[in-house]
Amino acid sequence: MIKRFVSKSFFLALILIIIFCCLEVVFRSYNPQAIFENYTTSKFGVATAFRSEIQRDILFHDFSHRIETDAKGLRNFKNISYSKESDVFRILCIGGSIFAASGVNNDETFAYYLNRLANEKLSGKKIEVINAGKNLWELSEYFTYFKNEGYRYSPDLVVVYFHRGELSTLELSEFEADKIEFRRLTDNQVEIEVRCFEFAHHLNKFEVTFLNLIHSIPFYEFAFLESHVVRFMESYLRNHLVLDVAESSKRNLKKSYDGWALKDDDSINWKTDYWELKEKTRQHIPAVLYSIGVERFYSLMQEYDTKLLFLLAPSREETLKMEKGFKEFKPMEIGRHENMIWLDLKKDLMEIQDLSYIPLNFPKAIHFTPAGHLAAATLTFNNIIEKGFISISNPTASVINFRDSEWIKNLYNVDDRINPKLSQLGYDLLIKGILNKNQNNFDQAEKFLKLASKKEAVSVEAAWQLGRLYFVRRDYSNSVDYVQKALKQGLFESDAVFSLLAKAYSNLKRFDFAEKYFEKAIEVAPNNFRNYVNYAQMLFFSKRFKESLVQYKKANLIVPNQIDILLGLGGASFLTGKSEEALLAFERILKIQPNNVQALSSIERIQSRLK
């Protein structure tokens, strides 16, 4: 009996091997499969996570770094068990590519530096920091990771982050609720009710199981590199990890949103389990839904008596003062709680950048350099101490002075590994040019930017920065020339680029070109109210008051009740014969700023005309 079983098993294995070899020949000949990055898998209930115990050297924007993961699939710098001693304060950092962290080694990450600073400055305390970061993770992944895995570490504090780009990449299909109702109250007013909110990733359980099974094979790495069949199977599984249509007892927000008959000028009132919001617009929907998600995440933290620190990570452009950032409604503006703190890193990171002249971000990326990670970790450590997350006898003495020359010197040193590459690319020259421009050292800025423009890797951005520099110096002709040159060389067509061109052409009295670029700026960034205001101002001063009024109204829909918008709205309404509308706009200003001189004089002038 046993012999027969062994014999049949042998022949079955032989047949399978022959079939596999035949398939391998077919794939090699007719459908070869390229080698791809295979250091991720699906676990913790999310579609992508780091595989366990990998060591891989990879490139990020020409910068080499090493990814190493522990047995639990974390890019950690030391092994930490689930169990925690009673006198240990444990911090769990959950995030996307900033914490993951792209471009840096394990001992150059935010979590590593936070752990080092805490243990150096708080010698009488036992602090453990865990790095649970993975590229592409956002709020839904933070929640799901903590729910399925992170809670097992019993963290006292969870640190996550938000940057404004997350609103544009929000996956509404991952947002679900037991109750989603859309009600139109009037022609321009609607009510949306969302109750019992949850996150869902809609994973295909079969594909997840099979993918993990392949990754558990002892000779997997060899098979992946050598076999086209294995790579085909893995590629297929990865592409089908998430179901197209999820079967769920809850209602999917993406499906609901697609069915809402919303208009651009609708005023939306929101009802949720956590709060009510009134007079929001269609453009605010991502921020509102993100805010609901934050509330659900916070409620999960409360279940485990864990405090929550949300970092606001500025873009590279904001840190370098290349843009001011939008003033749109943001998730952190609502839902304040005792055990949830929002820490905006922008102001202090901008100051550190000015003081150090060393890049805190990689070229063309939000991701921190090692120096950026140390700077962010220092600011976070200070906040943890100042907010009393960790109980210590003398908090003031523990706070780190990031303006101190020794601290700045250390900041230079931590970038030693990547400094040669930064210099080779000319990125250090570019940064010096931008920072000198910010400090009004225009001659120095011009010198560094022209040197940077000779480096191929940064020549496009150097030309763009020279365009910005000449605009500030009111040399609008040179400004246009350099920006157009940068566009021809491949500069990303952002609203900032088009807006600068529009304003430069407007100052050159070439209004046809100005109008063209204002419209392009609005086309690529329809939610940036400033584009509408700039366009409206040009139309106003060209005495095209009716067209100006249209643009002011669009700006007011995105950011209601902002003073400069209301002033323009009132002025354009008045000059188009709409005195009542003008009066309402100026009266609204006085509710915000009772002593606004321009509004007071305008109201007096309108009232005298109405008499």
What is the per-residue pLDDT for 520? Answer: 93
Mean pLDDT score across all residues of the chain: 89
pLDDT value, residue 328: 64
Residue 577 DSSP code: T
Residue 568 pLDDT: 85
Over 70: is that where the pLDDT of 6 sits?
A: no
- Please tell me which residue, 248 or 338, carries the higher pLDDT value: 338
Q: Are strands 267-272 and 251-252 parallel, antiparallel or unpaired?
A: unpaired
What was the pLDDT predicted at 579? 83
- pLDDT for 338 equals 79
Q: 3-state DSSP call for residue 234?
A: helix
Q: Grade residue 10 by pLDDT with cuts at 50, 70 and 90.
A: low
- For residue 512, the tally of other CB atoms under 10 A from its CB is 7
Question: Once rounded to an integer, what is the mean pLDDT over residues 331-360?
Answer: 87
CA 158, CA 297: separation in Å to the nearest integer? Answer: 11
Residue type at position 8: K
pTM reported for the whole predicted model: 0.87
d(CA 49, CA 141): 10
Over residues 274-278, mean pLDDT? 89
pLDDT of residue 266: 86
Cβ atoms of 532 and 547 closer than 8 Å: no
Mean pLDDT of 443-465: 95
pLDDT at position 2, please? 63
Q: What is the pLDDT of residues 547-587, one digit of tens each?
A: 988 998 998 888 888 888 888 888 888 888 888 887 888 88
Read off the pLDDT band of 8 (50, 70, 90): low
User: Is the N-terminal amide bond of 101 cis, ω within 30° of 0?
Assistant: yes
Q: Is the pLDDT of residue 484 over 80?
A: yes
Cα diameter, the chain: 111
Would the pLDDT of 464 be above 80?
yes
User: What per-residue confidence (pLDDT) applies to 326?
Assistant: 55
pLDDT bracket for residue 335 (50, 70, 90): low
**CA dihedral of 283, 289, 294, 300, whole degrees rounded to 10:** 180
